[in-house]
Amino acid sequence: MSKTAIYPGTFDPMTHGHINIILRSAELFDRVVVAVAKSSGKNPFFELPQRVELATLALAGHANIEVVEFDGLLVDLAQQQQANIIVRGVRSIADFEYEAQMAGMNRQLMHGLETIFLTTHSEWADLSSTLVRDIARHGGDVSKFVPASIKQAILDKLA
């Protein structure tokens, strides 16, 4: 039986921490769907199509990873993708508390939907997309936090 997992997020921008969770997920599951959320409640740095494009570039060469965009309930996407596993990366207790609450709600909305938590490797524990954007906005070097293509896209956006 094939196992499909979904790793959702805004990925604004995708970082090495995200990529680490995705690649580790790809070793655990037959298929990983990276779901780039529209996230209309936030004011994104990159528009949705560009976030999808950047994620696709960053994950190229991994046959069992697919990047899609979505807007709406994650459980609807899980049903569309025939997935019953959600992958979430957790950096801290605060992340876990929030993600555990979301996992419970998703389980209530879709029977059989499980959430798997992967702890972030220590080198990425302090990394967030927000911090990457802030560092870049203030002229800092983000090359150790994001792939080169994403670094270039950030620099282009700020130019």
pTM for the model: 0.94
| Tokens 């939907």 belong to residue | 113
Checking if the pLDDT of 106 tops 90, the result is: yes
Average pLDDT over residues 117-142: 94
Distance CA 159, CA 139 (A): 11
Distance CA 145, CA 19 (A): 10
Residue 114 has a pLDDT of 96
Per-residue pLDDT reduced to its tens digit, 41-96: 778 999 999 999 999 999 999 999 999 999 999 999 999 999 999 999 998 888 89
CA 54 to chain centre: 12
Distance CA 134, CA 128 (A): 10
Residues that are catalytic: 18, 42, 91, 129
| Residue ranges of domains in the chain | 4-158
Q: 4-158 adopts what CATH topology?
A: Rossmann fold (3.40.50)
- CA nearest neighbour of 100 among 112, 114, 79: 114
Give me the phi and psi of 38, to 5 degrees please.
-60, -45
